């Protein structure tokens, strides 16, 4: 299972009807509405990779 980046719902990527490719990464959505929101402003939902510094 993967998280819908818009609403946080669990989505099965094997059966997800709503998906979108953004910068080479596939994102999966629970509904057409979440997919539309993502495609209108993907940067709002794409979380940057945070580097964790260990001391």
pLDDT (tens digit per residue) in 14-25: 999 999 999 999
What does the alpha-carbon distance between residue 50 and residue 55 come to, in Å, rounded to a whole number? Answer: 16
pLDDT (tens digit per residue) in 1-55: 999 999 999 999 999 999 999 999 999 999 999 999 999 999 999 876 555 666 5
Instruction: Give, as one character, the DSSP assignment of residue 15.
Output: T
- What is the pTM (predicted TM-score) of this model? 0.82
Domain parsing of the chain, residue ranges: 2-45
What confidence score (pLDDT) does residue 19 get?
97
What confidence score (pLDDT) does residue 47 get?
73
Cβ 27 vs Cβ 19: under 8 Å: yes
What does the alpha-carbon distance between residue 37 and residue 49 come to, in Å, rounded to a whole number? Answer: 21
What does the alpha-carbon distance between residue 26 and residue 48 come to, in Å, rounded to a whole number? Answer: 15
């Amino acid at each position: 299972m993967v998280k819908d980046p818009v609403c946080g719902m669990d989505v099965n990527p094997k059966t997800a009807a709503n998906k979108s490719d953004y910068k080479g990464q596939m994102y999966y959505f629970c509904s057409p509405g979440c997919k539309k929101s993502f495609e209108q402003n993907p940067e709002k939902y794409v979380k940057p990779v945070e580097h964790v510094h260990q001391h």
